[in-house]
Structures are given as C-alpha cells and as structure tokens.
Amino acid sequence: MIKNALRILQTPSTSSVHFRNLSKAPSASPSKPEKWDLLTAICVERKPALTPPLTDLEKEYKQYLQEVEYERSLKSDHEMKLEAEKKVLESLKAGETIEDLDVNLKQTAQDFADACVEELAQFKPADRLTEADRRNDLKSLQRKLDKHLVLVVQQRIGKEKHFLLPQGLRQDGESLRQTAERVLKENCGSDIQARIYGNAPCGFYKYKYPKDVRGGGSGGAVGAKVFFYFARYLNGRLPEKDVDYKWLDRKELYKTLPAPYNRSVSEFLFDE
Amino acid sequence: MSVSNIISNLNRLSLQATVRQAVLYRNISASSAVQFRITPSLLAEPLKKKKRLDPAVIRAREERRKKKIEKQIRRLEKNARQLKPIDECEVSLQILDERDKRVRHLPSVSPEVLDKRAKIEKSWCQYKQQQHLADVQMLDRVSFAEQKALDELRKESEELYQQAIQPDFYFIPFSCQGPVETLPIENYDVPDGDYVDVSKKWE
C-alpha cells in the first residue's frame, strides 16, 4: 500500500529536494482549498533497560551522602562483635588466660567479613556493554541498553531512499490511530508488537510534492501531512528480508533523518 | 398519597389566586364563614394493591440480612484484635539499652571538609534546578507539538479530530518497570540456594 503511494512520486523529476521547508512554499489561491494527502508515521521507541551512568557530580554527591550517613549511624551488631573479639585477642596476647576455648572453633566476625568480601569479589555483574555494542549492530535491540532507541525504516520518497519513521497513507474509514497500527504491520511485519500511546498524534510534519508530480497521479494533492504517533516497543522482531531498518539512539537519529523532518521529530521526543 | 396531596395544594393555591381576583370584580366572598369550598381536583388514580408476600420468604430475607451483618461484624472484630506489627518502626530493647556503647566516636570533621561539603550541596542544588527547568521546558515542547498536530488535524477533518481526542484508558492506572543498573545474568546459578519468601501474611 505504502509502496504504491510512494511509487506515484517516482515519476521523473528534475528536482531532488522533496523535503521542502513549507514556509517558503508559495500558497495556492485561497478560494480553492488545497488537497493534502494524510499520512501517519509511527515512532516506535525501545525503553532503556539500564540506568544511565552517573555524572561526576552525581558520583560526588552520592559519596558525600554515604559519608554523612556513616557518621550519623550507630554501630551494628557485626561491628560490636568484631570489637569484642579484638579485645579478647589483645588480652590473650597480653598473656591473660581466659577460658574461651570455643573462640577458635567458631567462625569469628573477621572471618565472616573476609568471606563476604571474597564472595563479592568473585561475583561479576552483567556487562553493561553487549555483543551488539561491540559489533555496532544497528539492527539489534540489544545495543545501547541505557539509551532510548527509535526504529527507522528505509523508504522510497520520490527517487531517493531515506531512513524515516515507518509511514503510510490513511485509507478511507480509518482513524489515524488505526492507520498507525496498520502502517507498523505493513512496514515491519506482524511479529513486532508496540503499544501506541493515546489516540492523539504527538507530532506533525508537512511537505509539498515537487511541482511536476503535484496534481498528477496522487489525486491532485499538493503535498503530504504526516501525523506522528508515539509507540512503545513491547516485543517481537522485524523480518530480516525486505526491510532495511535501524534502531538508533537520539544522536544517531537526528543525524540520520533529513533536516526539516528531523525538526518535527525531535520536537515531540523526550530528551535523554 | 403525598404526591396527590401536593398537587391538590398547588391547585388550590393557583385557584385561590384567580378566585381572589374574582372576588374583587364580582364581590364573592370565600371566607370560612361563608362555607365556600373549592374542591381539590383529583388527578391521581387509585393506588395499586400491595402484593402480599409470603411471611416465610420475608423472614428468610430478614434472616439472611442479619447473618450478613453478623459476619461482617465478626470479621471486623477478628481483625481488630490482630494488628500488623511494623518491625522496621520498633527498635529492639537490646539496641536501646546498648545505645551509648554503639555511638561512634569519630574525629570531628575538619573545616575544609565541611567547606567542600557545602560546595557540593550548592552545586547539587543548581544541578537539580537546571534539571527541573529542562524537564519543564521539554514537557512544554512536547505538549506544544501535540497541540499543533491536533490543530492541523482539525483543519483537515473534524471527524478525525474527534476520534483523536478520545481518551485512551489503557494506561490508567499507570505502572512501569524502571531501568536497572545491571541486567540480570542469564542462567545464573544462585550460590545460596533458592529464594523463599518467609515473611508472615497479615490479613
């Protein structure tokens, strides 16, 4: 469906600028309302699984809080035991004989502390960097676990191919949200599941078609209005064939998208 | 009964108003001494005869209601006796006794360290304030983008706009699982055995 819609735009055109800043585009006569194609794009975002690393100030503040907490605290049972044992040892060294033969038999507090430290040293928490990070695999969902990743799909607009959010034309009788759901299915396969946030579009972008295409096969529309829907990735994978896609964090996303389009997208996305 | 009463009262009121006017014109007296009476109009139909219920059924109903209330009372009484202890709020007596022994005798903090701490506090305040400001601005920007999209949609089609502004109740009540510092290790063999929740159940 979307490919058909976009193929219409593939009629030979000399201008390669399809993403045009609308404010500069000449407006048609006010008497006749312009016809616009309504498109829906869906912004699928994967939530980060890991917390972002602490900044220097955050680390410093954490350290400070820990120090203050230690100073204000009372001694724990373990510390009391440790001190008591120390006293016993000192008095033993001094030559006093206390009938404490079972001291050697049981595990002392110091032994317990040593064992704990050793166990902690042996434990290695899971790596924050994954295999996908090392290979820089843009298609993997396992990359950049502490970042929000947005799905972009390669699509033909006119003659050129662009990495854009999955988008498609609205069909008659559909609400925009239903279009968004259908667009996701058609572009990214039926395996991937995402939860759309709300019925309202969260962003808007419009562009005019090049002059020689305008009013031709696309039913006389002068351009397209794209309504963005935000969705949270739930699970599932994209098909390996047919679709060229990438999962990008914010920086990469803003570099990849065409500039005017990017302005609209970055407006509704949350900062990291 | 009460409804018909009210109606008749109202009727009388309205009639008397007209009658009083008539009195002025035609010199008719409606005082009680003349025994002039206005019949209230009867607009209600006779009431339906109340259905007779079997006394056994009524008794059974009453019984059931009584039992239900009694059960509730019993449940309340049972719970009143059993209060959930708040362990974390109750300091054990042993610790209270040893409080003096447990105080740490640390050397007092040097003025340099205090200075440094004050600086950290200040820069933390600034950091948090900037963070908050950025958050508010970001939310503003995002809601502005949404409003703009809705406005543009309304220009195109009122119907689509109406569909778009319907609330989506899926996220109420909202819950989410936050990010963690490190991911759980897959197939991790727990050295200390299985995790069994032994905390007491308080109902």
- Listed by start position, the domains of chain A span 2-12+34-50+130-268, 56-122
Superfamily of structural domain A2-12+34-50+130-268 = Nucleoside Triphosphate Pyrophosphohydrolase (3.90.79.10)
A36 touches chain B (CB under 8 A): yes
CA distance A58 to chain B (A): 8
Percent of chain B residues topping a pLDDT of 90:
29
pLDDT beneath 70: ranges in chain B? 1-32, 81-82, 202-203
Q: Nearest CA to A44 among A250, A267, A234, A199?
A: A234
Q: What is the pLDDT of residue A11?
A: 38
Q: Answer whether A163's CB lies under 8 Å from A256's CB.
A: yes
Please give the Cα distance from A200 to A208 (Å, whole number). 23
B146/A202 Cβ within 8 A: yes
CA distance B171 to chain A (A): 8
Beta partners for residue A247, in sequence order: A151
Q: What is the pLDDT of residue A63?
A: 95
A259 touches chain B (CB under 8 A): no
Q: Answer whether A265's CB lies under 8 Å from A203's CB.
A: yes
- Report the residue of chain A nearest B126, measured CA to CA: A57
H/E stretch holding B78: helix B55-81
Q: What is the pLDDT of residue B94?
A: 86
- C-beta neighbour count of A153 within 10 angstroms: 22
A146/B138 Cβ within 8 A: no
CA distance B195 to chain A (A): 18
Three-state secondary-structure class, residue B151: helix
Residues 157-196 on A with a CB inside 8 Å of B are 175-177, 195
Q: What is the pLDDT of residue B133?
A: 95
Q: What is the pLDDT of residue A211?
A: 75
Contacts made by residues B19-25, CB under 8 angstroms, sequence distance 24+: none
- The whole-number mean pLDDT for each consecutive block of 10 residues of chain A, a chain of 272 residues, reads 44 41 43 76 90 92 94 90 86 69 64 88 85 82 87 83 86 85 85 88 86 63 87 85 84 87 88 77
Please give the Cα distance from A242 to B151 (Å, whole number). 36
Helices (H), A53-168: 56-72, 77-93, 102-105, 109-122, 131-135
Domain positions in chain B are 1-46, 53-82, 112-166
Residues 6+ apart with CB under 8 A from A36: A206, A221, A222, A223, A224, A225, B156
Nearest by CB: B153 against A146, A227, A267: A227
B156/A202 Cβ within 8 A: no
- Report the residue of chain A nearest B142, measured CA to CA: A268
